[in-house]
Structure 1
Amino acid sequence: MPFIDIAFQAEISRFEDSEFEEVARRNCGEDPDTRKQAIEELRSMILERGICNPRRMDDAYLLRFLRCRRFIPALTHKLMVRYEDFRRKNSYLYDCNAFGLQSVKDVYGGTLPDSPDNGRITLMRFGRWNVEEVPIVDVVRCALLMDEIAAMQPRLQILGVTIIVDLEGLGMRHVRPLTRTVAGQIVALMGVSFPIHIHGVHVINYNWILSSFFSLFKQFIPAAAWARLHFHGNDMSSLHKHIDPVYLPQEYGGRCQHVISTEEWLRKINMYKDEFMVQELRALGFTVDDTKSDGWSDM
């Protein structure tokens, strides 16, 4: 079996590797001795306050939220409230074929090798979005699907995610479809309302249009998130201060030889999805074919 397939089989695994205990302690404030206590405290808080009604209340589900908020139950509860509110207000985003969003492949540049300091590095290229062929709702749906799949994986719950937003080629045609609703959805998906631990968001290769593009988003970014937002322009040495070049592609002055495209990532996830993932995605509202496919499902 090729190494890439072995890696993707591990990608959907929910096995908790003991080697990640120290990483979980550093990234998430997770202590095996007090983990159960924090879970019970969060569960009691949910029941007593009655503000949100999570679809699951088991330990593994609550754990994915606690890991995003350094095991502080009060902050975790606020995150769960925002997540449930997002799902309620945007249920139509889940109403699609989970593995039929191949048209957005150019928008999401793919994923880079996991870094100990930066976690999963994800590349977005909004300047390559073909606005005539790809509706904005599918751009958001693909990000939503990737978030929901990532949140299922203990490895990514612990490692976290770093996002590189490459705006090369961005024009007014890309800004026009961005409404306040869409901007709010995108910010929510970047960790504000989702159980995804975000190390940082790095914006590169932008021009004067950034002011129009970014003005739509900044109203939704909470004060605590600004410290994780970095603007580098075309200065790759500035980016290298945050991300070691060994984990970056050559076009960003890096030494990484292989970027896993979003198309490839989703195709392999579709191949190796198990019954748990199928049922989870369906419970969220996605349509998922039972068959394991090495290609894309039809829309």
Structure 2
Amino acid sequence: MFEQFLEIAFEAELDTSEHPELMALAPELCGEHPATRAAAIQELRDMVYGTWDPNEYPVEDLVKTGMAIMEIGTRSPKMQILGGTCIVDLEGVTLKHAATLTPTIAYQIVCMMGLAHPCRLKSAHVVNNNWFLGTFVYLFKRFIDPKTWKRIHFHGHDLKSLQQHIDPECLPVRYGGTCRNHVTIATWLEKIRKYRDEKFDKEMKEIGYIIKE
């Protein structure tokens, strides 16, 4: 039964139609109004084109993967309006990994969190972070406005702290939750490839992605 539900859910994930019940929530949750939508989109385009220099900010594979996921996810009006919650699990990260966290990479990550991307981040939760993470926190904080910074929470290894922000019913077992109906990124991308159509390919090509036929 879950597998059937999962197939329906993934197929619906690529639905970009604007449902009336979501449109009614748009003004309240993300300040979007039909009368100002076109101007807001143009303003975003102007911001992305006047400030992004691919020669100055080379994109690493990890950042490219994250960006592709964000681009696909925000195609859906549901995601644009309701937004999402992000859990960043740093288990197994060592000083060797942390040494790659340059200001450029930090800036690119922050951009994916909404600085230069039309996504609505409800909150971000960093778990299993080690003591040395504090050394690099200022790299992110310098790029993030105070309002957004308040949505970022560091829990360390305290799962009870995480559960105060996210209902255990929505968390997988590894985070002390009871949700078993979750999928990996690999499965998600596999389903995207399965249900993609000509419109999806066209839109992704228009924003610069190479689509394999």
DSSP 3-state at the match of 1:36: coil
The correspondence of residues 69-88 of structure 1 with structure 2, limited to 5 A, is 77=43, 79-85=44-50, 88=52
Q: 1:273 to 1:238 in 2, by over 3 A?
A: same
Q: 1:108-140 CA distances to partner (integer Å, 9 max, x unpaired)?
A: xxxxxxxxxxxxxxxxxxxxxxxxxxxx81100
- In 1, the alpha carbon distance for the partners of 2:79 and 2:18 equals 11
Question: What's the C-alpha RMSD, in Å, of the aligned pairs?
Answer: 2.5
The correspondence of residues 81-230 of structure 1 with structure 2, limited to 5 A, is 81-85=46-50, 88-90=52-54, 137-230=60-153
- In 2, the alpha carbon distance for the partners of 1:265 and 1:151 equals 14
DSSP 3-state at the match of 1:165: strand
Percent identity, please: 38
**Taking structure 1 as the reference length, what is the TM-score of the superposition?**
0.64
Unaligned runs of at least 5 residues, structure 1: 44-61, 63-75, 95-135, 291-299
1:10 aligns to 2:12 (yes or no)? yes
User: Residue 214 of structure 1: CA displacement?
Assistant: 2.3
Letter paired with 1:167: L
1:264 aligns to 2:200 (yes or no)? no
- In 2, the alpha carbon distance for the partners of 1:194 and 1:210 equals 25
User: Residue 288 of structure 1: CA displacement?
Assistant: 0.5
User: Residue 3 of structure 1: CA displacement?
Assistant: 2.4
Aligned length: 211
DSSP 3-state at the match of 2:60: helix
Q: 1:149 to 1:91 in 2, by over 3 A?
A: farther
Letter paired with 2:53: K
Q: 1:23-80 CA distances to partner (integer Å, 9 max, x unpaired)?
A: 43442245xxxx332235x26xxxxxxxxxxxxxxxxxx3xxxxxxxxxxxxx93x54
DSSP 3-state at the match of 2:86: strand
Q: With CA pairs under 8 Å and 6+ residues apart, which has the higher RCO, 1 or 2?
A: 1
User: Residue 21 of structure 1: CA displacement?
Assistant: 3.9
Which residue number in structure 2 is paired with residue 36 of structure 1? 34
Q: 1:91 to 1:255 in 2, by over 3 A?
A: farther
Letter paired with 2:76: Q
Q: 1:223 to 1:85 in 2, by over 3 A?
A: farther
User: Residue 91 of structure 1: CA displacement?
Assistant: 7.8
Which residue number in structure 1 is paired with residue 169 of structure 2? 246
Unaligned runs of at least 5 residues, structure 2: none
Which residue number in structure 2 is paired with residue 123 of structure 1? none
DSSP 3-state at the match of 1:89: coil
Which residue number in structure 2 is paired with residue 255 of structure 1? 178
Which residue number in structure 2 is paired with residue 286 of structure 1? 209
Q: 1:85 to 1:153 in 2, by over 3 A?
A: farther
Q: 1:92 to 1:275 in 2, by over 3 A?
A: farther
Q: 1:156 to 1:172 in 2, by over 3 A?
A: same
- In 1, the alpha carbon distance for the partners of 2:37 and 2:25 equals 19
1:232 aligns to 2:197 (yes or no)? no
User: Residue 93 of structure 1: CA displacement?
Assistant: 8.8
Letter paired with 2:49: E
Q: 1:152 to 1:17 in 2, by over 3 A?
A: same
DSSP 3-state at the match of 1:202: strand
Is the contact between residue 202 and residue 231 of structure 1 (CA under 8 Å) also seen in structure 2? yes
Q: 1:215 to 1:93 in 2, by over 3 A?
A: closer
